[in-house]
A = this chain, B = another copy of it.
Amino acid sequence: MTTTTDNILKRNQLSVTDSRKKILELFTANDGALAHSDIEKKTGEKFDRVTIYRTLQTFVEKGIIHTIPTVDNSVLYALCKMDCTEGHHHDNHVHFVCDNCNVTYCLDDVVTPKVNLPDGFKPKVMDVVVSGICKNC
């Protein structure tokens, strides 16, 4: 029997291992973003810290997940929903952090607005993080 996560791994030329399956499952089961520490807790001592770091790194490189900039200088990861490929991410969407439940959401459908920059500044990439109260709070 071949599961969804197995397929995602194979599609990306990654060998199917316990850690990769479990970590990928966490992302597909969860609609918010996850920090390294979340994963460490949810896998419960099953895998070495280093393995988790390396797995996340691999997933980012393959375009399976992307990192999210945070205000408090921690790193968050979330599933790429667009057609991201190795080395090229299409994840320029708005992120929302809930002040109450502290969950971070990818708002893939929200278009990032245009801003008028002063003369001489040429924009390329725009990161928008909105914080407030989420739909579940």
Q: Using a CB–CB distance below 8 Å, which chain A residues touch chain B?
A: 69-71, 73-75, 94, 96, 99, 105, 107, 109-136
* A135 in contact with B118 given A75-B73, A128-B126 (CB within 8 Å): yes
Asked whether B127 lies within 8 Å of A129 as measured between CB atoms, the reply is: yes
Cβ 8 A contact of A132, one of B74, B123, B129, B133: B123
B residues less than 8 Å from A73 (CB atoms): 69-70, 73-75
Chain B residues, CB < 8 A from A113: 113-115
8 nearest interchain CB pairs? A120-B135, A113-B113, A124-B132, A123-B132, A122-B133, A127-B129, A122-B132, A125-B131
A selection of 23 A-B contacts at a CB cut-off of 8 Å is A69-B70, A70-B73, A71-B127, A73-B73, A73-B74, A96-B121, A99-B124, A110-B115, A110-B117, A110-B118, A113-B114, A117-B130, A120-B134, A120-B135, A120-B136, A121-B133, A121-B134, A122-B132, A122-B133, A124-B132, A126-B129, A127-B129, A128-B128
